[in-house]
Each structure stands twice: as C-alpha cells, then as structure tokens.
Structure 1
Amino acid sequence: METTDQIKNEQQHSQTGPQAVPAPVDTACVERIEATIERADQLLDKAQQQETTCAVSVVLPVYNERETLQQVVQRVLRLPIHKEVLIVDDGSTDGTSKIADQLAEIPEVQVIHHATNRGKGAALRTALGITRGDVVIIQDADLEYDPADIVMLTQPILANRCDVVYGSRYLAPVQRDGWLHRSGNRLLTALSNLFTGQQLTDMETCYKAIRRSVLLNLPLQQNRFGIEPELTAKLSWRGKKIYEMPISYKSRGYAEGKKIGLRDALETLWCIIRYGMINT
C-alpha cells in the first residue's frame, strides 16, 4: 500500500507537471536580428548627419544695414542650393537687429548678436563657430555684390576641383567702382601677390568662397577689414591655390552707407606686410 507521503508526492508532481526544457538558441536568427538593428542605427546616424550639414554656409556680417538686409537675405534664400544663412549683427544701432531677429524665424536663417561693433573679421570668426556647410562664403549685406553669383563661386569647391575661389570685380567686362577705389585696390592686390605668390586681380573682394575644413584650420586674428589680406596670406602659406571668377558689382558711395575708409586701407597695407612676411 502507498504511504501518505508517497500519495502527497504524486499529487504535487501531477500539479506541477514535468520541468520545462529550454528551447535551443537559433544563433543564426540572433545574428540576423543584431545585423538588422546595426543597419537601422547606421541609417539613423546618416539621417541625423544630413539634418545637421548643408552645402553652403552664407555668412552675412551686418552693421546698420536695415535698408537692405531683408532683401539680400531673401535673394540668398532663393538660390537653388542647399544652404544656411548666418547673420552676425555687429552691434547695429539703427533697427537692423530687430529685422535680423524677424528673419531668424525662417528655418534656414540664424542670427548672432554682438553687443558692440567689433568688425567684419570678428563677425566671421563668430559665425565660423556654428557653420555647418561644406563651403563658407561671405556676403556683404549692402547689395554691392549680387547673391546670384554665389552658386557659380561655390560650385568648383563642391565638385572637389579646388578649395578656394575668389569673386573678382576686375575680371568682369563692366567695372562699376570709382577710379580712386579701383586704383587703390589694384595696388594693394599687387603688393599682396608679391608676398603670397598668387596672381590675383582682386584680393580685397568680399566674395571669398572657402572649404569649411580649410577655413577652420586658419588661426584668424584680425577684427576689421584686415581679415581680407590675412585670409589670403594664410591660405597661401598653407599651399592653397586661389582661383578667381568674374562677378557683378555695383559700388555705393559713402552717402549710401559705404564704411571702408583710409584707416582700413592703412590697416590692410600693414596686414599684407605682416602676414606676408611671417607664417602665423
């Protein structure tokens, strides 16, 4: 006869049933799942990278340009390229700051404010810290330079044919600046060429398109218009050939807001000599 303990053991066994045996792991299936997850992560990283980069960063240093700022930004935004617009309000006092903030509501536009007027070179250095484009180009906000030329100037760099392109006002068939300004510019350019070994016709041009990776490696120092010869000299010291393309240009007078003067010309002369003689 079965004892009471035997009966209890049989009842417990019948209630719990046999112990479950783990199914064998399908390693091939696990590897496929891991590969799928890894591929998904790669696609996500690529999508995020595309969202944080663009082809061209257009840097606009502005100081008291309320009459033209909105128009120049609108013309840049119409260009058929993937771009961003970085406005650096350099201590404006005429209402330019308010217009810049309104433009910043456009997704492609960012605005940085300087508390005081620090100069074009300082504005460029400020903008470089947040640029995302493969190419950086400087656009004056006074409409002396036509934004339509930006596509032409940046295309050779985007096509990996070169790293630097300057837009020359003096390669164009029609030149619309005064004799005195043109003569002074050519003299400064010739002196710059003497130090750098370049063969430029317009070192002082605003339109300088430069590959961002190259530009970020230049230890720029100048705050005002001395940035033009400094850029040219430091690119030359690093073995960069500077190419030129003709651009359209419509000069404005001092009554219309032109800001460069004798002080800036003397500063440019000093910077040509300083950076041309010493590799910094």
Structure 2
Amino acid sequence: MTTAGSHPRVDVVIPCYNEVSVLSESVERTLELFYRNPQYDWRLVIADNGSNDGTSELARELEIKHKQVSSIVLTVKGRGIALREAWLKSDASVVSYMDVDLSTDLEHLPALIKMVADGDHDV
C-alpha cells in the first residue's frame, strides 16, 4: 500500500515474549530511525506472543503514546506465529521484522527496505 503522500507503507514487526524490561527502549530507538527516514510511512507492530510479565500492557501503552505503533496480543508462544499473524493482518507494501533486542544494526534497515520497495529484491 502507498499512502496519500505516496510514501510506501512499511511494517516492522517486533515479536516479543516477556520483554517488558527492554521493550520501551527498543521502541524509542526504532521510532528515532523512522523519524530520520521519512521516505516511508513506517509502522511498528509489537507482536506479543503469550507474555506474562506485563509486556502486552506496556505494548498497549506504547500504542497509545505513539501513532506509528500498534500491537497485537497472541496467546500462543512462538516467533513464527507472531510474525505470521502480524504479516497476515498487514496492509503494508513491505513487511519486515526486528528482534526486540535490536541485535541487527538499525541503520541498515532503510537500505534493505529500499531494495524491496523498489522491486529490486524480495526476501
């Protein structure tokens, strides 16, 4: 999907399981990247899969605080299930994911998204 401003919509899914201690910082760092790269209509989707430590409640708070954040709560554990559900619900032109600990350097994400959005590559 391309939005009214003709910026491709990009969903970045962060699958979570009991990540209340790191989720806020990871969301803030990811949103900073989004703000520095306005060529896309970014959306961060927190996919909580069965947490019991308050992660889903924090995800809802972050969703209320930031318009670019949404969350889904699943009762079944598993990264694959979380990604599948988030991607099936997405209307974005490009879907991707990041681990909640941001173990992959965020600075590489815009280049990856550009290759996919431009139709040069798919994954």
TM-score band, normalised by shorter chain: 0.7 to 0.9
C-alpha distance in 2, partners of 1:158/1:145? 20
Match of 1:193 in 2: none
Partner SS for 1:75: helix
C-alpha distance in 2, partners of 1:75/1:133? 21
- Structure 1, unaligned runs of 5 or more: 1-48, 165-280
Written as runs of structure 1 = structure 2, the 5 A alignment for 1:18-33 is none
- In the superposition, the TM-score normalised over structure 1's length comes to 0.38
> % of aligned pairs identical?
33
Q: How far 1:54 sits from its partner (Å)?
A: 4.2
Q: How far 1:130 sits from its partner (Å)?
A: 1.9
Q: Going by fraction, where is strand more abundant, 1 or 2?
A: 2
Q: Are positions 1:147 and 2:110 aligned together?
A: no
Q: Are positions 1:75 and 2:29 aligned together?
A: yes
Match of 2:9 in 1: 55
Q: Are positions 1:109 and 2:69 aligned together?
A: yes
- In the superposition, the TM-score normalised over structure 2's length comes to 0.82
C-alpha distance in 1, partners of 2:73/2:95? 19
Larger-gyration structure (1/2)? 1
C-alpha distance in 2, partners of 1:104/1:54? 21
Structure 1: which amino acid aligns with 2:20? R
Q: Going by fraction, where is helix more abundant, 1 or 2?
A: 1
C-alpha distance in 2, partners of 1:152/1:50? 20
C-alpha distance in 2, partners of 1:135/1:94? 31
Q: Comparing both chains, which one has the higher relative contact order based on Cα–Cα distances under 8 Å and sequence gaps of 6 or more? A: 2
- Structure 2, unaligned runs of 5 or more: none
Match of 2:51 in 1: 92
Q: How far 1:55 sits from its partner (Å)?
A: 2.7
C-alpha distance in 1, partners of 2:25/2:8? 22
C-alpha distance in 2, partners of 1:147/1:99? 22
Q: How far 1:97 sits from its partner (Å)?
A: 1.4
Match of 2:120 in 1: 161
- Counting matched residue pairs gives 114
Q: How far 1:115 sits from its partner (Å)?
A: 2.1
